[in-house]
Structures are given as C-alpha cells and as structure tokens.
Structure 1
C-alpha cells in the first residue's frame, strides 16, 4: 500500500504515515493512497471504517466523474491529467475523494499532476480544511488541462492555415490525432462539470460559501473547456472533409493527366504497332521516305490532339 497523510492543526501541516492517520484526531487530516489494491481496501474498511459501498466507489477499476452527497460528507470523483502512461481511450486519470468534516481521503490509480499542487498547498497552509482541499484539487485539474485544450485548438488552427492538396496525408494524421484527443478529454469534462456543480450545491457545514464559489468557478471552467473541445471536434471534422475533397481533386487531376497522355499516345501506338508487324503488304513499307512520313504523321496527330484539348480547356480542369 503506497500512500501518505497530513495532519493540520491551526494552519500548520505535518506529514504523517497512513498508519498514524488512522488514529489521528487533529483538526484536519488528509490521507492519500496511490493504488486501489487489497491493502488500500483493507485500510478503508478496517481503519477508516467506511461502509462497503464507499470502499467499492473509492477503489473501483472503471469510474466516471460524479458527486454523491451523504449525511456526513460527500463522495467526489474527478478526472485529471497524469504524466504516467494512460490508455488511448482513457486520457485522464481519476482521483476519488471522500470528504467529511475534518477528514479527507483520496485515492488514485495513477499519479495525477494535480496531486503535487494540492500537497504543496497543504504544506503552505492554504488548504487547511476539506472544502479548501477539494477546491484546490478541482482548480489544479482545470488549470492543468487548460493549456492542453488550448494546444489542441492551436493545432487545428495550424492545420487550417496549412491546407494543401500535396500535404493531405500528413495533415489528416495531425487532424485525426487532435480530434481523438478532443473526444477523449470531452468525454470526462462534461460529467466533471456536472459533478462540480452538484458539489457546490450540497448542504453541509464542512463546505464554506467561499469554497462553494471556488468549486462553481472550477465547474464553469470545465464547461468552457468542454465547449471548446466540442468546437475543436467539429472543426476537425470539417477539415477532414476538406482534406478528403482536396485528395479527390488531386486524384481527379492526376487521372486527367493520365487520360490525356493515353489519348495522345493511343493513335501513335496503333500506327507504330501496325507498321511494326513483320508481314508483307503494308502500304509504302518499301519506300525510302516511309519512316520519315510516319514520324511526321505521328507529330501532326499529337499536336492536333493536344490543340484540341487546349481549346476544350482540359488542362485547366
């Protein structure tokens, strides 16, 4: 079992072990676990004496952002960015939080970037109650995701400016990656906004009005990012359609060139093939000027076909 704890008395935080946190009676205690194995389950059940449904919620393998209020506290699940390797279909790692007056328990399966920010806030004394700690988690997660979403928007902007029929395949790969990332982030940001909104409206003396205002602000930022991700997804789809049209146009142009070349050489191939037969009876085959005449005829036919195409504006199609 990997984890740590902090006891906070009068704004002063001191790091403690998970074992010490079980019997700690400080004004505020934060216990954080990195992992959802049997040892974590046992501590939550035997030491923290949480009911089985909360133990299951805190250690579940598959989770989505949500908030559930109880008489004594609230269960909150948030999603944030992790520097560890994540699944392509699950770009954000989860943090599960159980908060009551004077105590917060958080559990992660992968280390979140926001966890370091929260721990530093606890050390600095700026997060010394459950409301402050949850607010710091929510704010840190949205602050960390904001530049990532902005970078996706910049990538789409660059693709729009670089639209070129000769770079179709390269741009399609870039647009597809940005679109997949936008869908993956948006999948969790919408329910996360709803969870934070619900948390801000929960009744309980462990969450102050100032904390509720900060949670609501984090929910607004999550909603804004979700809307921006939806716009990125739609723009990526439009760029993808444009690139498909450019590729079709490029293929049509190349097909036209091939068709024109075939039309030019088809009669020439017929004439040269006809006179290349090793049989008797070909007209003028024995004349000394026959070869020159055939060459001149081929040139005239080629020029005539090209002139016809030019007059029909085929080369501009």
Structure 2
C-alpha cells in the first residue's frame, strides 16, 4: 500500500515599512495589504488549483502546477511567469538532475512553487528576512543569482573530474576510466539541458518592459544570464572533451588488442616450423635419420632453436616487434 502524498506547505513573508515578517498560513489568503509579499508553496501539485491561494490568476496557476516544465519566461496580465531549474536540497527520484521552481511575479507580490526543495531558496529567504526586496524585480534577480551561484561549483566539479580522468589515461584501468568518463558526459548533457534555457529565461526577463523591473534589476538579470551562458559553454566543452577521451580510450584499447594479437601471432609463427620438424621426426615409421644416435635428440633441439632464432631475427629485421 503506497503512502499518501504529503500535503503542500505554504510560507509567506511580507515587507512592511522595511521590516520583514512571516505571515501565518491563515493570513495568506486574506492578506490585502500593499506591501511586498512573497508566498512560497513547497510540494504543490497534488491537490490542483486548491494548492494555491485565490489571488493567483487561473492562467498563471495552471503553469505553476504543471507536471512538466522547462525554463522559460513569459509576460502576461501585468506580471511575469518564470520557470527555472536549479540544484535541489536532496537527490530526487526523478530522471532530471535539477529541481524546478515556478514563479508568478507581480509588482508587489511573488508566488513561487516547487515540488522538491530548491537549495537556492535558502539564500533568497535570507535576503528577504534582511529586507532587501522592494518589488518583484528584486526577487527574481536575487533568485537567478542564487540559482546560478549554486550551479556554478557543480559544473566546475565536472570539469575538474574530467581533468583527473585525462591525467590518469595512461595508468588507470581503461574499462573503469571509460565508465567514469561516460558518467561525466551523461551528467554534463543532463545539466546543459536546463542551464541553457535558464540563460534564455533570464534574458527574456531582462527585456520585459515593466516599471517594477529597475535598471539595476536588469543588470543583475543579465549578469545571471551571462553566468548561465558560461556554464552552458563549459558543459558543452565537458561533453565534447568526454567524447574525445572516449574515442581515445577506444583507440588505446584497440591498440592494446593489436599488440596482444601480434605477440600471439609471433609466437605462433615461431612454433609453426618447429611443429613441422617435430611432427616429421616423430612419425612412427622406419628410416627416421639418426634414430640410433645418442646425440640425435639434442641435435634436433639445437636445430629447432636455430629455426626459432632465425624466425625471431627475421621479425626483428622487419621491425614487426617494435611497439
């Protein structure tokens, strides 16, 4: 029997006269003040529209509660609908590596929704409690910078891990190294799938012509977009480098197989005439030369040794034994 889905949790903060305070859940729906308010709903989606307060427009509510989202930004009804992806607080069971946050932004009110906890929201809450937000533009700029700051070390770690693989390519187990490189490449592809659209969403947000998006906010949004663009380029570089390393490992493995095949072929070629001689002299028929001589056995051994040395010398002269 499966456990029921947990109920969504709501948290709201209001900035009144520069002094932030947290609203109780019972105050969220009834609050009608003109101060800046941030409402966050974690784990929303199971109860549909009832997970959100009534002041969120139906069109925006449908987008906030959508099961599948990609980073984007659209202006509608005097506000902006923003979807972003960032690092989660914990690893989820979803195939996507990054957690989605959906935000409905108005001049003095922001409603954000997540299905799984987003690590960057802790930084945003800290700034909200410090009274640094006066409108929706400040909030989105802070959220974008926090998400990009959380993602940056993760992207850098992929590059460092790939550098380590490159340094071990001559000494490490080829099969284990190939597995690690394949995993790094998969991670880079999964991250780039959302990092590049995050950049596009921030650029679209910076172009919206709303009075509550100040020039300073646009500067911060463009800065976050530039950071997302740099991470996307680095992830693309990791993907391409991983592909090149994978091809290099394939070549090394093929070369290793060729060397071993050559060694086996050399040994077989040396023993081929020896097998003929010993087979010929080992026939159980009359007339075998020197059959009654005491030195005959050692003479045959010496003759076989001379043949082996001659064949090996021929290989050496033709440089077939060189690495």
Give a deviation string over 1:130-169, Cα, whole Å, max 9, x none.
Answer: 2221111100010111111111122222223333276322
1:208 to partner: Cα distance: 1.9
**Partner of residue 67, structure 1:** 73
Question: Quick check: 2:29–2:55 contact (8 Å CA) kept in 1?
Answer: no
CA contact (8 A) 2:45 2:67 kept: no
Show the counterpart of 1:258: 264
* TM value normalised by structure 1: 0.92
1:1-317 equivalent positions in 2, closer than 5 A: 1-26=8-33, 27-39=35-47, 41-44=49-52, 47-86=53-92, 89-164=95-170, 167-278=173-284, 280-317=286-323
For residues 306 and 19 of structure 1, the distance between their equivalents in structure 2, rounded to whole angstroms, comes to 91
In the aligned structure 2, how far is the partner of 1:80 from the partner of 1:203? 26
Q: Is the 8 A contact 1:165 1:243 kept in 2?
A: no
Query: Structure 2 CA distance, aligned partners of 1:116 and 1:275?
Result: 88
CA 1:288–1:102 in structure 2 vs 1: closer, same or farther (change >3 Å)? Answer: same
| TM-score, structure 2 as length reference | 0.90
CA-atom RMSD in angstroms: 2.0
CA apart distance, 1:207: 1.9
Deviations 1:235-289 (A, max 9, x none): 2112221221111111111111111111112222333344445555543334322
Task: Give the CA deviation at 1:119.
Answer: 1.0
Structure 1, unaligned runs of 5 or more: none
Name the SS for the 1:132 alignment partner: helix
Aligned residues: 315
Do 1:28 and 1:129's aligned partners in 2 also have CA atoms closer than 8 Å? yes
Contact 1:165 1:250 in 2 (8 A): no
Distance in 1 separating the partners of 2:87 and 2:28: 27
- Which string of whole-angstrom CA distances, capped at 9 and with x for unpartnered residues, describes residues 281-315 of structure 1? 54333432221122111211111111111111111
Distance 1:152 1:85 in 2: 17
Contact 2:45 2:115 (C-alpha < 8 Å) held by counterparts: no
Matched residue of 1:316: which SS? Answer: coil
